[in-house]
Amino acid sequence: MLLEIAEIEVRPGAEDQFARAMREAGVGYLAACEGVLSARFGRGVENTSKFTFNVVWTSLEAHQAARTLKDFGRFRACFGDLTIGGAMNHYEMDEAIPGASA
């Protein structure tokens, strides 16, 4: 499994529009991509212009292949001009430990 943690900085004044676009459609498009096991997003507390996406993929290859999918394009289109930067990191994940809470 692969965990993607992306931090996105949104243009000042566009934060509510970005959050609404993600809730109403964006995360749904992302979650519909083949290879996505789970997808969540959240808004920064200390800096409300920053958002994070936490996406669990079946593999790095699935993540790379998703970039060519219609649903991934639709996800990106939801916030196209609302962002001003960001960073992305990927982590190989072990399977869950039986009995541990997720």
Residuewise pLDDT in 10s, the chain (102 residues): 999 999 999 999 999 999 999 999 999 999 999 999 999 999 999 999 999 999 999 999 999 999 999 999 999 999 888 999 999 999 998 876 666 565
For residue 41, give every residue at least 6 positions away whose Cβ sits within 8 Å of its Cβ, in sequence order, or none. 22, 26, 27, 51, 52, 53, 54
**The pLDDT value given to residue 79:** 86
Q: What torsion do the CA atoms of 32, 64, 43, 80 make, to the nearest 10 degrees?
A: -90
**The pLDDT value given to residue 100:** 56
